[in-house]
Amino acid sequence: MSIGAVERFRTMGCDVAVAGGDPAIVAAVLARWEETFSLFRPGSELSRVNRSPARVLVVSPLFVRGLEVALDMAAETSGLVDPTLCGRWREVVLSGSLLSRPPSLALDLNGVVKALAVDAAAAALDGPGFVSVGGDLAARGPVDVGLPAGGAIRVVTGGLATSGTASRGAHLVDPATRRPSESCWEQVTASGASCLDADIAAKTGFLLGERGPAWLDSRGIPGRFVGLDGEIVENDAWQNATRPAVACT
Amino acid sequence: MADTSRIERARQRARAAKVGIGALTALVFGVAFVGAKSHAPGHTKGKATPLGAPSSFERAVRHSVAQGGQIAPAVQPPPVATSTS
């Protein structure tokens, strides 16, 4: 099954690679997410929400979707992936299209929005192919992917994401200390049923430090960890999935 | 004699009709009464439960939130790479 030619362009401040679909459609999907959730655009819905002095606001369906996932992920990871970045995610309440939160509590949905946008863009593909945005990938059909610190893997289906400090420094906040994370890993790559699943798994594996490989294994999630010294650790799920099959003789 | 018999039969039919209508009315009233008793908001049938999703459902959803994808050894040079961004 061929995935066709790979088209490349830049959006959301990231390099984008698309195969199996119209790049213009993918760009439009990504642009819609950026217009809603960008923290760098004063006119984005997220920026307007963060500036609003009101306690209760009406937000768009796309905003609801992003925030719902962010709050679910905060609960799933016991606050490791936190849309408030300060451990106050339980104060954020969604009821239909109504958002309630303390007016001074700013939201940052970067933790989930890029992966959600990648999944949405992959859903817009015509057939087998993939969408990769800044190294986060969702595949509809097999695609080989290069890995941090060398090597490659075939994503048969689902998503693949890498989280860490390699390109942006310590941008992940550890909710236990509320300070930038000081993980023992430089980069963590995880496979997921979707790009969102992979991204959350990679972030959580990174933030959990030495407990990361076991946490992913307990959920059957393949993870590959690159240590600060360059050592590569693959958890059991990753090893089992990538070990070449031995032919019977 | 024949007229008396016809009148008597007519009275019997009228009585049967009255009994039938009465029984039907009682039956409809009974069904409506039981239905109202069962479904009226003022008559709770059991302990009230929260409107939110059951905790077992929430647990199941959370456990399925992050799931592993399917990967395998690479078989050709990769056209794309994963990295932090």
Please report, for the domain that includes residue A21, its CATH number: 3.10.520.10
- The answer to whether the beta carbons of residues A183 and A159 sit under 8 Å apart is no
Q: Based on the structure, what is the number of domains in chain A?
A: 1
**Residue A197: helix, strand or coil by DSSP?**
helix
- The answer to whether the beta carbons of residues A79 and A91 sit under 8 Å apart is no
- Residue A115 resides in a domain: yes
Per-residue pLDDT reduced to its tens digit, A166-211 = 555 444 566 566 666 678 899 999 999 999 999 988 988 988 889 9
* CA of A55 vs chain B CAs: smallest distance (Å): 23
- Residue A82 resides in a domain: yes
A9 vs B contacts (CB less than 8 Å):
none
- Residue A102 resides in a domain: no
- Residue A228 resides in a domain: yes
Binary contact (B73, A222; C-beta < 8 A)? no
Q: Do strands B80-81 and A143-146 pair parallel, antiparallel, or not at all (unpaired)?
A: parallel
| B62 at interface of A, judged by CB pairs closer than 8 A | yes
ipTM (interface pTM): 0.76
* A81/A39 Cα distance (integer angstroms): 17
Q: Which secondary structure element, helix H or strand E, spans residue A26, and what is its range?
A: helix A23-37
Q: What is the predicted pLDDT for the residue at B50?
A: 61
B83 vs A contacts (CB less than 8 Å):
134-135, 148, 162, 166-167, 187
- The answer to whether the beta carbons of residues A193 and B65 sit under 8 Å apart is no
Q: What is the predicted pLDDT for the residue at A55?
A: 92
- Residue A213 resides in a domain: yes
- Residue A101 resides in a domain: no
Least reliable range by pLDDT among A1-10, A127-136, A195-204: A1-10
* CA of A154 vs chain B CAs: smallest distance (Å): 4
Q: What is the predicted pLDDT for the residue at A213?
A: 94
- The answer to whether the beta carbons of residues B6 and B13 sit under 8 Å apart is no
Q: Do strands A6-11 and A14-19 pair parallel, antiparallel, or not at all (unpaired)?
A: antiparallel
Domain extent at residue A136: 1-42+68-87+109-249
A159 vs B contacts (CB less than 8 Å):
69
